[in-house]
Amino acid sequence: MDIKFDIANLKGFIEKKEWDDIVPQVKKAHEELVNKTGQGSNFTGWLDLASRTDNALLDELKILGEEVRENSDCIISLGIGGSYLGIRATVEFLIADQKIPIHYAGNNLSSGYLYHLLKGLEDKRVTIVVISKSGTTTETALAFRIIKEFMEKKYDANELKKRIICVTDQEKGALRKSINSEGYRSYPIHDDVGGRFSVLCPAGLVSLALAGLDIHQLIEGARDAEKAFDEMDLEKNIAYQYAAARYLLYKKGKKIEVLSTFYQRLSYVAEWWKQLFGESEGKDGKGIFPASLNLTADLHSMGQLMQEGERNVFETFLMVEDSGHKMIIPPAEENLDNFNCVAGKDLDFVNKQGYKATSSAHYEGGVPNMTITLPNCQAHALGQLYYFFQKAVAITGYLIGVNPFNQPGVEAYKKKMFALLGRE
């Protein structure tokens, strides 16, 4: 496995005996998950989604992307939650490979945001992808109404059929009805895959293929991870080590997990991770609160609290071994800032020393921490990481004793909002 996992900074927080004692519980969670006997098992289609994905579909999406990029200046990807975060996380991480600008809509209810977005696209050739599993989500449905009107002013009905692509349930929902009546191109979202687990199905893949990203390698990475994280051996399975460590720390009162990244391109992976972990674990009065920090920037804002605040936090660092591009620090004759010590070095060298210093200082300050390291900024590594986190959250969810695959709590505000809007 290319991903590395380091737990040296858990020493003193989790004892050897606790690791040994947790094995039977992890084994039970593993068996419930893979045998599909645990809670929410009808939403565990993500377990072997990558290996079930037909390469022919990936080839078809790659060709669709090439076609769309020939007649478009940009893409608008409409969706929210699981129909948005994985796409944005992937696009931002693979930024170097992106072949066309991609804008996002349907992920907020801000008039100003949509006004400025559409204003800026008046003279552009636009293709839109509307993603909604339920086909009824407020933000996506309303953005689609407004953007559809914008598209109808630009294009005739034939052109719209090419420029509006929908990703939704195979049979149900308002979006499926529009597809049937208007003849838009469409791709189905799997029944057995929940929104936050759907980045590797058409919910994520269509927009990613249009952006020109390597979806074959993304899926290949997840396929490799399926095999690597399948074995029930806590010594070998790093996804299970991460899951078990999180659970043991939670039981000791560490109720908040901070995912700290030292790379800008990982900041939306952290957003995706927050949804995956928050929505999967936060129920029945339980759950670790997932937060994230962009370092080193947030060391100048949240660093104080991490170092000396209430000790109810643990931290997971997300690092990259080969960050891709080099940015060499030049020497300065007068050395006024006293930084000639790093002249001739890549900026990433300093970044990595920043990580070493931070993980050690936080550890000494009472924050147990772990580090996940990706080999590089390629699609294959990201596919592995997505699967690593999905597998881990399923196991911690079962250890905590919740159904990691539902999200009943998100209905409460919707009911109140629909009542205020007079919507049936």
State in angstroms the smallest separation of the CB of 280 from ligand PA5. 9
Between the CA of residue 349 and those of 8, 214, 355, what are the distances in Å?
21, 28, 10
Is residue 261 at the binding interface for ligand PA5, with CB under 6 A as the rule?
no
Is residue 404 at the binding interface for ligand PA5, with CB under 6 A as the rule?
no
- One of 41, 98, 108, 134 touching ligand PA5 (CB under 6 A): 134
Is residue 279 at the binding interface for ligand PA5, with CB under 6 A as the rule?
yes
* Cβ 403 vs Cβ 39: under 8 Å: yes
**For ligand PA5, the closer CB: 190 or 196:** 196
**For ligand PA5, the closer CB: 72 or 207:** 207
State in angstroms the smallest separation of the CB of 197 from ligand PA5. 8
The question of whether 30 is a catalytic residue gets the answer no
- One of 196, 216, 254, 362 touching ligand PA5 (CB under 6 A): 196
The site map against ligand PA5 for 140-159 (x = CB under 6 A) is x-------------------
**For ligand PA5, the closer CB: 280 or 359:** 280
**For ligand PA5, the closer CB: 159 or 284:** 284
- One of 65, 195, 204, 368 touching ligand PA5 (CB under 6 A): 195
Is residue 407 at the binding interface for ligand PA5, with CB under 6 A as the rule?
yes
State in angstroms the smallest separation of the CB of 117 from ligand PA5. 19
**For ligand PA5, the closer CB: 80 or 165:** 80
Footprint on residues 24-63 left by ligand PA5 (CB under 6 A): none
Instruction: Give me the residues that bind ligand PA5 (CB under 6 A), please.
Output: 80-83, 132-134, 137, 140, 194-196, 279, 407
Catalytic residues: 279, 300, 414
